[in-house]
Amino acid sequence: MLALNRLLGSALGKRGLLGSGLALASGSGGAARCSVPATTTSSRGKSTSKEAAGGGGAEDEFYQFRDQKIPYIQDLRIRDPSEVTSLPCFRVLDDRGKLISGCEKFELEKDLSKDMYRTMVRLQTLDTLFYEAQRQGRFSFYMTCFGEEATVIGSAAALETADHVFAQYREHGLLLWRGQTFQEFADQCYGNNRDFGKGRQMPIHYGRKDLNVHTISSPLTTQLPQAAGAAYANKLNGYDGITVAYFGEGAASEGDFHAAMNFASTLACPVLFFCRNNGWAISTPSDEQYTGDGIAGRGSAYGMPALRVDGMDAIAMYHATKTAREYIMEHKSPVLIEAMSYRSSHHSTSDDSSRYREISEMQAWKARDPVARFQIWLEDKGWWSDEEETEVRGEARKEVMKVLDAAERENKLPLREMVTDVYDEVPQHLEKQYQEIKKFAQENKHLFPNNVPIE
């Protein structure tokens, strides 16, 4: 079993920045959690240890609450947060993509590494061309994963398909890893008749029952308490898998974050809370979102093990997620991961990030591109060549261009699909509303797309 109470490598630079050891920080946060000796009073309040009393009359006084023994002190002072050491950040590759000394034990095997890299390249190509297609007005909205490819693909590779995923909106790479095709991505963004969601969702709001990916919802953070509840239900049913909830550091400012963390901790739900800390919540920088030790630092307050990792290092992301998953499966309790990355693109096609951050900042972070870092490591291993790079990128580009054209030619679903599926039989009030819509559509066909059948 992985050692959870120590770091496996030496730290690089100042503690609390980037290190090469991997461990889960205990959720006890330094509180005195230990075995409780027999006591002479109830389980709450001032207690006197029989062991101490039997040792010459001296008494050890402490405040006991359930399984916590909190010692009394006579030193009255306020504890300053600066006295607490930041949770270190696990990494395997440096900013140049070179393996850090002592991290050889974390290197991945060849086939897995190449599969991960190919998927990262395909994800980059998908995002580039879909973003351009939206800018051309071919569909209404899009969000990219630029700068976070290693975060998403590294974690996806360490999970099992049986693991239920509640994503936010920048994790479509996980679907790509689990087998969703470029064509299926395009069909969803166009909302055509082949879209699994029947065109009822905004673009990039994917969902796949067969891949255990729950449909994305636009309201921020709603997926976290849902994931905690799903994990608890799966635990009661003896389900062989975990639940994963992806979210950004901005979502951690919502009340739903705290409710989900507390429910998951107190009910010991087998859920992985996965924070993509990319530095920006749309236009709000992280230093205006929170103070203290980031998101991972909150784990101890909820009695939840936590781990911070370099989200731009694909190898580190894989091992961090794998370690967390193994812990959850063994203990049937939650874990919090904070992946430190950077959103090198605009928040979405509705955003212009040059209005609130410097171009120099974006360029500096792009120099640490996670895809390029992983490519350098593969080349150093002799597992990747310029010829393979050209071939994979060229084929991916051709495929994406083809599926965009095909999706655009497909008809939308009939207008009547607006009122189906919610009820077993369409109730009278919805039928009445639909007939009004249908009449309006027939009288004003010029206002409706010509590829939407009116029935």
Residues known to be catalytic = 132, 218, 347-348
Contact 214, 207 (CB under 8 A): yes
Contact 121, 48 (CB under 8 A): no
- Pairing of the two strands 18-19 and 89-90: parallel
Contact 202, 219 (CB under 8 A): no
If you write DSSP's letter for every residue of 289-302 in order, what string do you get? T--SSTTGGGTGGG
Nearest to 410 by CA among 195, 192, 201: 192
CA distance 140 to 117: 29
If you write DSSP's letter for every residue of 417-443 in order, what string do you get? GGGSSSSSS--HHHHHHHHHHHHHHHH
- 8-state DSSP, 368: T
Nearest to 106 by CA among 117, 119, 88, 92: 92
Contact 117, 48 (CB under 8 A): no
